[in-house]
Amino acid sequence: MSSHNAPAQVTGWHVPTIGGVPADQRLLAALPELVRAVLAALLDALPTYRRLPREQVDGELARTTERRVRALARAVRTGEPAPDEEFTTVRQTAARRAEEGLPLDAVLLAHHIGLEVCWDWMTRQAGEGDTPGLLTLHRLLLDHLRQVTAAAGAGYFEERRTMVDERHAARNALLGALLDGTPADEAAARAGLRLAPGYAVLVLSVDDHPDEHAEDVDRTVAGRRKLRRLRAELDHRTRHSALSVLAADGGLVLVPLDTRPTDLPTAEWHRLADTVAATARAAGAPVLAAGAAAEPSGVATAAALAYEVLDVARTFGRPPGLYRLDDLLLEYQLSRPGHARPRLAALIGPLHGAGELLTTLRTHLAGGLNRRHTANALHLHPNTVDYRLRRIAALTGLDPARPADLLRLTAAVAAHDAERA
């Protein structure tokens, strides 16, 4: 190389020598030997690298190793960091490793191992009087390692972020196709997924976390933290297989099923109910949810039904949990406008002026007609509950203790709530 093409040296820089030979010349003279030693060390220490194709190890990896040694030699010769384009190459190489699925710790450790091999080789060449040169080399190696590690980490994370963004977009496209009722096979393929035999469609209504109302807490931050915890639990419970669109106040989730919806066992709905309960605990906020199951082509219809069931559960004041249409058949039907609904609601019209009687009736029906449960829930003496039930019977002509009247009273309360909603 002509002198006018040689890299400029730092003013006052003295190239360290090993055994009386400039260290950069020693590195370049031993280049083939060092490349073989680095590759052997990588394959010995990193199982992930042992699983790479042999042609990749002998080709791309060997060329990359040679380039790193030449960059180190240049830094030794000039006392300056490698040029920016060298670290651009480091970022690009790390991005390829991310795309290939190699873990970040292995990628960064590979750079450490490569420089360790070079350092060990240099120390073996050193003789008496080379300590100052070795100290200078050690500092250069640490500086080089710091820069290479930063560049590799940045390149790796940029690629991973791109991959996550692309995966997120592809999964959203699949979710959109299913909710639109359009053929979703191609969208599933682009997302790297296979369409499930069926999907459980869950719509969630998430209450506020107490932090969202604290005076000294940013409401938006508290809501995002709640949502992050909910998503993490949902991913854990569904093994990252669920498709979702969620916000701090709720959203929609599609959980892939292993069987067709018509063959879905009750135990699977219990598992989904447990999932909803677990997400509520993780979020630190009550979650009211409704669900329906369908084959891929019926997801749009199932989602519409689930939203209706959620609205019914909310209208009738159901406690947090997961509800299906089967859980709210009477309430669902009575929530549909019709001639019978106002007349049913009128059956308990005489109770409107005595709010405690309507509350007692609603609590008694919800508690399975257990007077002690009703008394405990309302903090009353059981005799007071008995008195109120007699008053209800006297005012409406319908006695909760008579099976023939019980259905009419249950329907009347549901119709009353639906009319008010």
- For the segment 146-169, the average pLDDT, to the nearest whole number, is 89
- For the segment 354-365, the average pLDDT, to the nearest whole number, is 87
pLDDT digits (tens, 9 = 90+) for 249-286: 999 999 999 999 988 899 999 999 999 999 999 999 99
Determine the pLDDT at residue 9.
Answer: 54
Are residues 293 and 302 in contact, defined by beta-carbon separation less than 8 angstroms?
Answer: yes
Determine the pLDDT at residue 179.
Answer: 94
Distant-in-sequence contacts of 74-78, Cβ < 8 A, 24+ apart = 74/7, 74/24, 75/140, 75/143, 75/144, 76/15, 76/16, 76/22, 76/23, 76/24, 76/27, 76/137, 76/140, 77/7, 77/9, 77/15, 77/22, 77/24, 78/7, 78/8, 78/9, 78/10, 78/13
pLDDT digits (tens, 9 = 90+) for 68-90: 999 999 989 998 877 888 889 99
Closest CA to 125 of 136, 115, 134: 134
Domain range annotation of the chain: 3-162, 199-333, 337-420
Amino acid, single-letter form, for residue 195: L
Fold of 3-162: Globin-like (1.10.490)
Determine the pLDDT at residue 262.
Answer: 86
Q: Give the SS3 label for residue 339.
A: coil
Closest CA to 70 of 55, 83, 54: 83
Determine the pLDDT at residue 5.
Answer: 45
Fold of 199-333: Alpha-Beta Plaits (3.30.70)
Give the number of C-alpha atoms closer than 13 A to the C-alpha of residue 239, restricted to the C-beta side: 2
The DSSP call for residue 1 is -
Distance CA 237, CA 233 (A): 6
What share of the chain in percent tops pLDDT 90? 60
Distance CA 364, CA 34 (A): 83
The DSSP call for residue 198 is E
- For the segment 292-317, the average pLDDT, to the nearest whole number, is 93
Phi-psi region at 284: left, alpha or beta (left = phi > 0; alpha = psi -120 to 50): left
- For the segment 399-406, the average pLDDT, to the nearest whole number, is 86
- Domain at 337-420, CATH class: mainly alpha
